[in-house]
Chains A and B, each alone.
Chain A
């Protein structure tokens, strides 16, 4: 009898002893990425996927995090909420990832958040999501398991108002596209304007398919604002710019201010010469080479820009930066918080408490239990379009 017990004990100890190191050697930090790689939002998802893969290679090349390799599993949401939920579920239940990065758009992010109960304190799967979407519903109020990396509408609005009030421009008019993006922008401007002593003296709207906004601009110009702020993305912003020039409002001393949605050289090209003098807030990646060397982000920005452009032979975009930040923040939290592979709950905690001061592409992050976006208006720069290129302006 004793012999059997001893043999059994030896067997158990043997298994445990042999199993331990074997298991540890096999373990990796498995992170799921859901991006709109194809479909109508592919212009977001494609650079995001490329950036995530670039970061994965880079981390593993320097030996992983705490000596453990990182594995990023990329899945395609096709930009559709139901597909995003499907893929996120697969990553969480079958592939056992410890964190999700992405998705690219607010509707897909919100769908995953609801489906996996990430807005609750105690969800079934303890997997934090670092989204690359900017929508307000993801971070206001704070959702326990959801973080975001892009600059929000609120930040852009604040950066604009700060810039204008700094130049003594206190009378502004707002024109925006009547959809969620435009209305959110306007709401933010309205809420923040008193803080900077700026008065919004008129507002007008237009539809996303409208192709002439001279009536709206004329009406606003009649109230003699010092600046007109336009909040939209896509062709309507080009039409507003062209109409503004056509009406000669720039010659009447009115500034045209756009948003971070126009932080793309395509916008300038589509406007022809009409975009000259337009002012807009944007992330620093677009003007990385013009930043002063004293800028704390400059080194990170230039390295990412060069690596990305060398690897993929295409210009780096803001969206690539969102994915870079998402994955790097997760890596930073794992390293600083000494998170064990597979421990999503500890990772969430570490994201909140250990990553503050992380220097990324979108800015310097200060995640906290009260703030899951962690950026400030200083992370945006104001740009002016001069001779068809973006120039820094102060």
Chain B
């Protein structure tokens, strides 16, 4: 029994990380229809920023996290102006290829600035793990889980019940119609890049104590986060959260009961199955395709 719980905890640990990255994908997808393959690098930059502020400059953790959030937002906006805007006329596919290029540049840049070695970041609450029914859980995982749930709730309210959120969604559904109703489409898109960058950087700062901060951590995160977003239905934030946790727990269980060698294969198998049977995502109701 304790073993089963421990496997689930192991899964949750990775699952919240996937979920956070998945939500980052959604924010940009919802505003522009673009899948941003540099999303993992946003997370990586967050981890690096936090390392610099908290460990090098020795600033208090909460202030550091707040600054990481803002800096991440700035990175998102700069990213939009330098990568997305110049390419957007050429179509969504071109922008996506552009984001892949940007991810390589960001990764290389981070390597030059922070070096190739992994960096350790202190956890927010304590190093001591929490015991539960004979299993143990890293306390930082709870922090990440809480922040993810809170963020999903806030985004749900923001996009569902506020004028600003609705305006962002309108830009994604039909930019021309949105413009005709007086929504400043450009500004809305910039706002969603700010939100995505900020949120992803915060995610990076939160997971750094668990995973260590490393210049090439983004690739794996982007891949698994993308899976999480697909499983939950691209664009659906609660879906990404559930998708990420599901993916993580499945990995944990397969490492425990099957063999750790099949863990990654299983995750991608599930992704393929979902794409076959429910391409709209596990928890999304089917809806009309945007043409």
Contacts and interface: CB of A to CB of B under 8 A. Distances in A.
Contacts of B127: 272-273
A246 B129 contact: yes
A25 interface: no
Contact of A215 (B116, B214, B260): B260
A214 B118 contact: no
Task: Identify whether the interface residues of B are mostly helix, strand, loop, or mixed.
Answer: helix
Contacts of A218: 3, 6-7, 10, 135, 256
Nearest to A207: B264
Interface-central residue, A204, A215, A234, A269, by most chain B CB under 10 Å: A215
Contact of A270 (B118, B217, B219, B255): B118
Contacts of B135: 218
Contacts of B210: 211-212
Task: Give the size category of B's interface with A.
Answer: 35 or more
Interface string B242-275: 0000000001110110011101100000000000
Contacts of B7: 215, 218
Contact of B120 (A204, A209, A211, A270): A270
B64 interface: no
A30 B23 CA distance: 61
Contact of B255 (A40, A216, A234): A216
B177 interface: no
Contacts of B260: 204-206, 215-216, 219
B6 A214 contact: yes
Interface in B199-245: 210-212, 214, 217, 219-220
A235 interface: yes
Contacts of A178: 261
B116 A40 contact: yes
Contacts of A222: 3
Interface in B13-46: 13-14, 17
Contacts of A273: 127
A248 interface: yes
Given A212-B14, A239-B212, A219 B120 contact: no
Given A40-B116, A205-B261, A272-B120, A215 B10 contact: yes
A216 B122 CA distance: 24
A238 interface: yes
B120 A214 contact: no
A215 B6 contact: yes
B69 interface: no
Contacts of B251: 215
Interface string A208-236: 01111111101100100000000000110
A322 to B, nearest CB: 20
Nearest to B9: A214
Interface-central residue, B17, B131, B212, B219, by most chain A CB under 10 Å: B212
A218 B138 CA distance: 14
A247 interface: yes
B136 interface: yes
A124 interface: no
B214 to A, nearest CB: 6
B181 interface: no
A94 interface: no
Contacts of B11: 215
Nearest to A216: B260
B203 to A, nearest CB: 14
A209 B10 CA distance: 15
Interface-central residue, A43, A216, A222, by most chain B CB under 10 Å: A216
A319 B118 CA distance: 19
Which 10 A-B pairs rank lowest in CB-CB distance, beginning with the nearest?
A215-B255, A211-B211, A215-B10, A235-B118, A214-B10, A246-B129, A209-B220, A218-B6, A270-B120, A215-B256
Given A216-B260, A219-B256, 4 more contacts: A204-B260, A219-B260, A238-B118, A247-B136
5 contacts: A210-B263, A219-B256, A245-B129, A247-B136, A269-B120
Interface of A: 40, 43, 178, 204-207, 209-216, 218-219, 222, 234-235, 238-239, 245-248, 266, 269-273
